[in-house]
A and B are shown apart, each in its own frame.
Chain A
Amino acid sequence: MSMKIDLGRVYGPSEDVVVREIEGEIVIVPLVSGIGDLEDELFTLNETGRAIWSRIDGRRPLAAVVRELAGEYNAPDGIIQEDVVGLLQELLDRRMIVDRG
């Protein structure tokens, strides 16, 4: 049963992956086994994912990240929240981020 993303909690990159920025792409490289389905699989984020990723620093609750992005993109909190929760849920399901409390 996968855990659900909670806006009140703090999330940060997992030590099970190495996250690299190469040529403007965020590349997520599994470090331990069981992250990808295939032996040579790497992961990248789409444009929306990239914009959110840089703020997932393991220090602020997610709600603060949503507010910051809403201000920056001049968009309603609800739309931003949908993307932030969507991305983090994918990352959490893949063990690429961890709940830091």
Chain B
Amino acid sequence: MTGPGKPYVRKVPSGRDGMWASAGPPLARLDIELTERCNNDCVHCSVNLPAGDAAARAREWPAASWKGLLGEAAELGCLVVRLTGGEPLVREDFEEIYLHARRLGMRVMLFTNATLVTERLARLFRDVPPLEAVEVSVYGMAAETYEAVTRAPGSFAAFRRGLGLLGDQGVPFVVKGAVLPSTRREMDELEAWSARITGSPARPSSAMLFDLRSRRDGAKNPLIAGLRIGGDEFVRIARRHGEAAVDEWRDFCARSGGPRGDRLFTCLASGGSASVDPYGRLQYCLGLRHPDTVTDLAAGSLREAVTGFLPRVRAMRSTNPAYLERCGRCFLKGLCEQCPAKSWAEYGTLDTPVEYFCGVAHAQAIAAGLLEPGEKAWAVVDGKERVERVERRRGS
């Protein structure tokens, strides 16, 4: 043979550059929301239904359907599946679905609150590892603060027990926080504890800007909205460890390309990922449940949905004057959380500028020296020039 010799086998951390000689497979990652049910009832949660919600449970896809879908995803080249919820471990058939994904040669990203981790499950993760660190949400450093968030008595002890079981079996995990009234004072403690238990100095990420309910079942929205921090508070928290975060915001703006124009979707590249809700409906992404961006997989194949439906969604354009005049011209695209999923949760549309996220992005831009107080980002005629000028000034 005339080809290259040793080494014949090459290690590739999956998902990194250099995995594919070609453009990559039609589907790199599949996000599966196994259930909307959860054994916690977190004050800020945009998804959860009660764990015992029989109607929701009856509508959820059974394991056999998920296994069929995973098979289709594998044929499309999918290497990573994210299992999330709700709390995915409330499903009794979680193990069956997990093992099926692993036996198809997929890595599994598990998002969990860890309260339902059993010794048996921790052993399974030890023996058949997910190949991704389990991502555990942490709602407080003590029972009092934790359960003020989860509103589930005993959940703190269950979470600590679950995490302990993962640790005992050497299952890699990372923890993620949430900045809420009861946990705000615990951020330093969370970071120090995370470094201790995971052995990694990387600071845990913390959810700060909460979404309203993605099903638009609005009764809880005033509660969630009341937990939101303002832009100035967001900036203050981001600056806790110095100016690196603010420097990064300027970088985002420098690298984010031109304004959106009438494009709705500037996220998730083609051939990237797709999401499926617990009832077998494919969504563009996890939070986006606008009917125009959802297709029922009972009516067609995953391949058709990924190669036909999603590209059509991705090509959708806005005709909303408010969007075109503001977001369409705004140079803070790389900073701002504005996207169709946020607009959907907030207003039931795909393209209404979300005032909350707009305010936060403006506070960030002021902190980064990109805007003067009172200035509107969409009124800046040449955003690229603005970013370059600020960066030059800082460099000199």
Residue positions of A touching B, CB distance < 8 A: 18-20, 22-25, 27-33, 36-49, 51-52, 69, 73, 75, 79-80, 82-83, 86-87, 90-91, 94, 96
Contact = CB atoms under 8 A, between A and B. Distances in A.
Contacts of A18: 102-105
Given A23-B77, A40-B14, A42-B79, A28 B106 contact: no
A90 B104 CA distance: 23
A87 B8 contact: yes
A38 B129 CA distance: 11
Nearest to A28: B9
A41 B334 CA distance: 30
Nearest to B106: A29
Interface in B234-285: none
Given A23-B25, A27-B105, A40-B131, A47 B3 contact: yes
B10 A23 contact: no
A99 B160 CA distance: 44
Given A29-B106, A83-B1, A42 B14 contact: yes
Main SS at interface, chain B: loop
B221 to A, nearest CB: 37
Contact of B3 (A23, A28, A38, A51): A51
A46 B8 contact: yes
Interface string B1-24: 111111111111111000111101
Given A23-B20, A42-B14, A69-B1, A32 B8 contact: no
Given A27-B79, A40-B131, A40-B132, A20 B74 contact: yes
A23 B19 CA distance: 10
B9 A87 contact: yes
Given A45-B8, A47-B4, A38 B20 contact: no
B207 interface: no
Main SS at interface, chain A: mixed
A42 B12 contact: yes
20 contacts: A22-B79, A23-B20, A24-B22, A25-B20, A25-B21, A29-B106, A29-B131, A38-B13, A40-B15, A40-B107, A40-B131, A42-B19, A43-B12, A45-B8, A46-B8, A49-B8, A51-B1, A69-B1, A73-B2, A86-B8
A46 B3 contact: yes
Give me the 8 closest cross-chain CB pairs, A-B, nearest first: A18-B105, A48-B3, A49-B8, A29-B105, A87-B8, A47-B3, A22-B77, A42-B14
Contacts of B25: 22-23
A2 B106 CA distance: 28
Given A39-B129, A42-B107, A43-B12, 11 more contacts: A18-B103, A18-B105, A25-B20, A33-B128, A36-B131, A42-B12, A42-B13, A44-B12, A79-B1, A91-B8, A94-B9
B99 to A, nearest CB: 10
A97 B326 CA distance: 58
Contacts of B127: 32-33
B369 interface: no
B201 to A, nearest CB: 17
